[in-house]
Amino acid sequence: MNSTFADVYPVGMSIFDPIDLGIDEYGQPVTLDLVYRNLLAGGEPGGGKSGLLNLITAHTALSTDTRLVLFDGKLVELGQWEDSADEFVGPDITHALAVLRRLQQVMNNRYAWLRNRKRRKVTAGDGMDIITAIIDEIAYYSATVGTKQEQDEFVALLRDLVARGRAAGIPVVAATQRPSFDIIPTSLRDLFGYRAAFRCTTPNSSNIVLGHGWAEQGHNAADIPPTNQGEALLLAEGGFPRRIKVAYLDDGQITNIAAHAARLRAGTTGRAA
Ligand SMILES: Nc1ncnc2c1ncn2[C@@H]1O[C@H](COP(=O)(O)OP(=O)(O)OP(=O)(O)O)[C@@H](O)[C@H]1O
């Protein structure tokens, strides 16, 4: 008898479990520990960023100790997870700003809670849900829709969340198909503990994602063949970039996992923070 996804994951997973991403160039499994690190994914259109985001979202949606906040300007990249999300933001900068302001407030409340207990970070035993914010695509909100003032506020709120969210249990996963200094200034990029460079058009844009100088040391996402979608260079804080191939969930698989995740979460979304 074929086992279904629900047979394999009957009670859900934890966001504190390592997230399976795929394999490295030696065939070794690659995992991600997201809770205390943020992840930035950059690269040219079609390189596989949304594939990575969907994989992380799948793990997150199946983790009943996490609440999901999704930003998807195109609606179709993360749209299948809407039923698992506490908030799903589409192409609406007013909504995006309202949700980011709310996340900032939750983050401030959590810092006050930690400070009262002379603690530095939220842990698994606190009974506080991790809130995972996933953004596809940064540039849509920071440079395409809305007024300049709204875009600036989006960038300021995002930067604050990325800078302070981790310890408060609010990790951020964000992608952009525009790896340029105006979209990912160094000061923002450096706040991301994980950086994944999918195929880039130039060594310079690869460096904008990974950090200055990596391309010159041979870690250059511009040498990823355009035909190998899902290949990326993954840098984890303090390490060397690893060449990886991200596992891919097709639409049918996402539909099944999302339906199961929504069932697992039934009655758990929409709670007050
Ligand atoms: N890990 C992967 N393995 C195999 N094929 C993949 C993988 N990731 C993506 N692809 C293929 O590449 C296509 C484009 O991928 P994806 O939408 O993730 O790119 P993207 O970088 O998010 O593009 P955009 O910036 O336009 O949103 C997918 O439709 C799929 O066919």
Whether 86 maps to a domain, the answer reads: yes
Whether 270 maps to a domain, the answer reads: no
Q: What is the pLDDT of residue 269?
A: 39
Cβ 73 under 6 angstroms from ligand 1? no
Whether 272 maps to a domain, the answer reads: no
* CB-based burial label for 259 (10 Å; 0-12, 13-18, 19+): middle
Q: Using an 8 Å Cβ cutoff, are 134 and 60 in contact?
A: yes
Q: What is the pLDDT of residue 270?
A: 40
Whether 205 maps to a domain, the answer reads: yes
Give the predicted TM-score (pTM) of the model. 0.92
Q: What is the pLDDT of residue 257?
A: 94
Q: What is the pLDDT of residue 271?
A: 36
Q: What is the pLDDT of residue 3?
A: 59
Total of domains in the chain = 1
Rounded to an integer, what distance in angstroms lies between the CA atom of residue 147 and that of residue 18? 39
- Whole-complex ipTM: 0.95
Q: Using an 8 Å Cβ cutoff, are 57 and 70 in contact?
A: yes
Rounded to an integer, what distance in angstroms lies between the CA atom of residue 181 and that of residue 203? 13
Neighbours of 28 (CB within 10 A): 9
Nearest atom, ligand 1, residue 22 CA? 1
**What's the CATH number where 42 sits?**
3.40.50.300
Q: HSE of 183 in the Cβ direction (CA atoms, 13 Å)?
A: 21
Whether 179 maps to a domain, the answer reads: yes
Which of 194, 225, 256 shows the shortest CA–CA distance to 48? 225
Whether 167 maps to a domain, the answer reads: yes
Q: Using an 8 Å Cβ cutoff, are 39 and 183 in contact?
A: no
Q: What is the pLDDT of residue 2?
A: 55
Nearest atom, ligand 1, residue 246 CA? 1
Cβ 199 under 6 angstroms from ligand 1? no
Residue 50 Cα to ligand 1 midpoint, Å, equals 6
Written as tens digits, the pLDDT of the chain (273 aa) is 455 555 655 566 899 999 999 999 999 999 999 998 999 999 999 999 999 999 999 999 999 899 999 999 988 889 999 999 999 999 999 999 999 999 999 999 999 999 999 999 998 888 889 999 999 999 999 999 999 999 999 999 999 999 999 999 999 999 999 999 999 989 899 999 999 999 999 999 999 999 989 999 999 999 999 999 999 999 998 899 999 999 999 999 999 999 999 998 885 534 333
Binding residues for ATP, by number, are 43-50
Q: What is the pLDDT of residue 7?
A: 60
Whether 80 maps to a domain, the answer reads: yes
- Only one residue has tokens 């000061």, namely 187
Rounded to an integer, what distance in angstroms lies between the CA atom of residue 72 and that of residue 90? 5
Nearest atom, ligand 1, residue 43 CA? 21
Sequential DSSP letters for 163-174: HHTTTTT--EEE
Cβ 196 under 6 angstroms from ligand 1? no
Residue 235 Cα to ligand 1 midpoint, Å, equals 20
Q: What is the pLDDT of residue 30?
A: 96
Q: Which domain holds residue 165?
A: 23-265
Whether 14 maps to a domain, the answer reads: no
